[in-house]
Amino acid sequence: LAGPWAVVGNVGDSRVYRLRDGVLDRLTVDHTLSRAMRLDPGRASPLDHVLTRAIGAEAQVTVDVGVALLARGDRFLLCSDGVSDVLDDELLAYVLNLDPDAHAVARALVDGAVAAGSEDDATALVMDVHDDRPGGAPWIC
């Protein structure tokens, strides 16, 4: 976090989403061969899991970096492909809107991914932006 900004960096196929006013936006792109070849994202492909960038694969890696302005009430989801591969964005948005308890939502996403048959690691971290701190900067917990 940098003042009212969230700085988002990603490599690989783990994702960062922001839920604002009930609308889910993906803030990252997957670094996979299927995406690089512009294959239909709605259809599964064996190339979905072939990474074009990964930490540790090369001596140096290019990291995508972006910024997102924080707003009170925003909810952020960081998740592994073990979650995002089996739960589509519409379902992620639905679950993120269900409960004000970030921990309970993260647990529900992981449990849902496992129940949906995820064979990859299923990890979810949910963070909420709360009221402004003294000095005007929002804070996350």
Question: Tens of pLDDT along 11-20?
Answer: 777 889 999 9
Determine the residue type at 40.
D
Contacts of 116 (CB under 8 A, 6+ apart): 86, 87
Mean pLDDT of 48-76: 79
> Cα–Cα distance between 9 and 25 in angstroms, integer?
15
> What is the crossing angle of helices 89-98 and 102-115, to 10°?
140
42: its two tokens: 């709605």
Phi, psi of 122 (to 5 degrees): -115, 110
pLDDT over 80 at 84, yes or no: yes
Mean pLDDT of 32-37: 58
Give the number of residues written for the chain. Answer: 141
Strand, coil or helix: what is 115? helix
CATH number at residue 39: 3.60.40.10
Banded pLDDT at 123 (limits 50, 70, 90): very high
End-to-end CA distance of the chain: 12
| Averaged confidence pLDDT in the chain | 83
Q: Which of 64, 113, 84 is nearest to 24 (CA)?
A: 84
Numbers of helices and strands, H then E, in the chain = 4, 7
Banded pLDDT at 28 (limits 50, 70, 90): confident
Range of the domain at 102: 5-140
Domain count, the chain: 1
pTM of the model: 0.79
Instruction: Report which of residues 69 and 45 the model is more confident about.
Output: 69
